[in-house]
Amino acid sequence: MGVYLNCGNAGFAAVQNGRYVDKTGMIAFVNRVLGTADKLICVSRPRRFGKSFAAKMLCAYYDKSCDSRELFEGLAIAEDASFETHLNRYHVIYLDITLFTSRARDVKTVVRDISAAVMAEVNEMFPEVPQGSDLVETLVRVAKSTGERFIMIIDEWDALFREAKDDVKLQKEYIDLLRSLFKSSWTDIIFEAAYITGILPIKKYGTQSAMTDFREYTMTQPEPLERFTGFTEQEVRALCAGSGLAFEELQRWYDGYVLGDDTHIYSPKSVMEAVQRGRIGNYWARSETHESLRLYIELNEDGLKEAIVQMLGGARIRIDVSTFQNDMTTIRSRDDVLTLLVHLGYLAYDIAHKSVYIPNEEVREEFVRAVTTGRHTELAKLIRNSDQLLEATLSMDEEAVAAAIEEAHKAGAAPTFYNNEQALRSVIRVAYISCMDEFLRLEELPSGHGYADVVFFPKKASGMPLLLIELKWNRTEKGAVAQIKERDYPQALKDYGGDILLVGISYDAKSKRHTCRIEELRK
């Protein structure tokens, strides 16, 4: 049993010592593609989404130097027809690239260190086979001499691109090594399969992938592996049982990543910390400071600031993910920044509508923290202004509400002119960013005789009144409140049972002024 070659099953055994969520269905998928044209697999997910757990699980299952039968008994893979066929039948090479980069005296030697370390263990295990001139030749000689093929598992394959993101020469050396292993006439002789994980998809050069033979399963194209990395809603519900935490609270804080065919995925880091501590909190983002997020949202790309503010207000922004070069330095547009944030986990991607959004309360807190401590002083001012707007609304200070909405309009995070109530609504969404902390926002809520423009429902135990907002363009704010009453909007919310504030907001195109009227309905 070696460090890199056939390293055993201790990693997966340690995972199972905790409260293990069965993800062994991934093994059945890999078994189906062993030895086929689809045998090269790359799964990219954000930090703390269970990538390393999956890699350790695969090592334990395939590694022929150990007996892992007991570890998999009672799990999903044990019921699969392929279980016995491939259990502990292969030589497995396992590389943790993050470990190599962290231990290297000089990051420039990492690629040579990887080759030398693996070659040394292969030569030690197969002393009868002459050593080749490099790693790939050594592996092909072993495969031809023994008739056995390897499975290679690389965890955090892209760590070198993140740690040495400006060292193009080192990156090329690394890609050349991977190409020699996985894109040569020897690949099929050496490997039964390869499974690599990372945060980023495989690096592009122009429109061409650096390793074209890999099948990629990413945050923007995850099918059919979406449920195997990260927790599903059903799994989170099961973890909540007996924890004292309500699933609805975990859902509000950690849900929002919807992959493939409507599969809701949660960060295992966040869910397990919350369940173990018995307390909802910001756990996923805490493992990396908000400076990394701030670095990207402060890039000077046209439309980026406006997109960030709109998303803070709950909007979804349509983007093109195809231009992204899958690295952290080749950023050419707003869409490249937003696509990178999807892969980092700071944004979620709606595949059907090709749009991005802030997925949940945990990540939203990080965005607010990054914005309020960053160089975008106008965005920080907008957040502070929103706090004041909410306070003014609750205290029924109509002049202060109108002034705060005008400030939000001037911030440039919404249409520069109004031509209808839809445009006015986009400014309201931005202006009331702070409401997202204490309220759930609904737009065009069906009422007695029409639709309420915007409704802010207080979250459980917040003690806040419900805010029902009616918008008017070139009509009076008093007319907006009157319309609420005429159309019987409060009756549509009769089951709410708490206090309601009726807020009429209007914009006069001629004077370019906002006005506001607020009335209170008590329960």
128: Cα within 13 Å, side-chain hemisphere: 4
What does the DSSP 8-state code read for residue 23?
-
Q: Is the backbone peptide bond immediately before 224 cis, with ω within 30 degrees of 0?
A: yes
Q: How far apart are the first and last CA of the chain?
A: 71
pLDDT above 60: residue 412:
no
CB atoms within 10 A of CB 462: 12
Name the band, by pLDDT with cuts 50, 70 and 90, for residue 486: confident
Name the band, by pLDDT with cuts 50, 70 and 90, for residue 449: very low
Among 223, 217, 235, residue whose Cα is nearest residue 275: 235
Which domains, ranges and CATH numbers included, belong to the chain? 10-217 (3.40.50), 228-286 (no CATH), 289-372 (1.10.10), 377-521 (3.40.1350)
18 three-class SS: coil
- State mean pLDDT over 384-413: 85
- State mean pLDDT over 119-130: 95
Lowest mean pLDDT, pick from 6-10, 87-91, 333-337, 415-419: 415-419
**Alpha helices (H) in 36-130, listed in sequence order:** 51-62, 69-72, 83-86, 97-103, 110-125
- State mean pLDDT over 438-460: 70
pLDDT value for 4: 95
Name the band, by pLDDT with cuts 50, 70 and 90, for residue 115: very high
Give whichever of 127-131, 376-380, 452-456 has the largest mean pLDDT.
127-131
pLDDT value for 218: 94
Q: Round the average pLDDT of the chain to a whole number and report it.
A: 87
pLDDT value for 109: 93
For residue 291, what are the contacts with CB-CB under 8 A and spacing of at least 6?
Answer: 370
- State mean pLDDT over 455-470: 83
For residue 441, what are the contacts with CB-CB under 8 A and spacing of at least 6?
Answer: 314, 429, 432, 435, 454, 455, 456, 457
Q: What percent of the chain has a predicted confidence (pLDDT) above 90?
A: 53
pLDDT value for 399: 94
Between residues 29 and 473, the one the model is more confident about: 29
With contact defined as beta carbons under 8 Å apart, do 360 and 256 qualify? Answer: yes
pLDDT above 50: residue 413:
no
With contact defined as beta carbons under 8 Å apart, do 112 and 168 qualify? Answer: no
pLDDT value for 228: 93
Six token digits for residue 219 = 């945050």
pLDDT digits (tens, 9 = 90+) for 161-218: 888 888 889 988 999 999 999 988 999 999 999 999 999 898 876 555 668 889 999 9
- State mean pLDDT over 461-468: 82
pLDDT value for 419: 58
With contact defined as beta carbons under 8 Å apart, do 349 and 342 qualify? Answer: yes
pLDDT value for 499: 86
Query: Residue written as tokens 């072993």?
Result: 142
- State mean pLDDT over 340-345: 94
CA distances, 81 to each of 32, 55, 90, 215, 270 (Å): 10, 21, 18, 24, 34
pLDDT digits (tens, 9 = 90+) for 68-109: 999 999 999 999 999 999 999 999 999 999 999 998 888 999
CB atoms within 10 A of CB 523: 10
91 three-class SS: strand
90 three-class SS: strand
- State mean pLDDT over 433-451: 67
pLDDT value for 448: 45
The enclosing H or E element of 363 equals helix 361-372
pLDDT value for 420: 60
pLDDT value for 485: 80
Q: What percent of the chain has a predicted confidence (pLDDT) above 70?
A: 90
pLDDT value for 517: 94
pLDDT digits (tens, 9 = 90+) for 27-61: 999 999 999 999 999 999 998 899 999 999 999 99
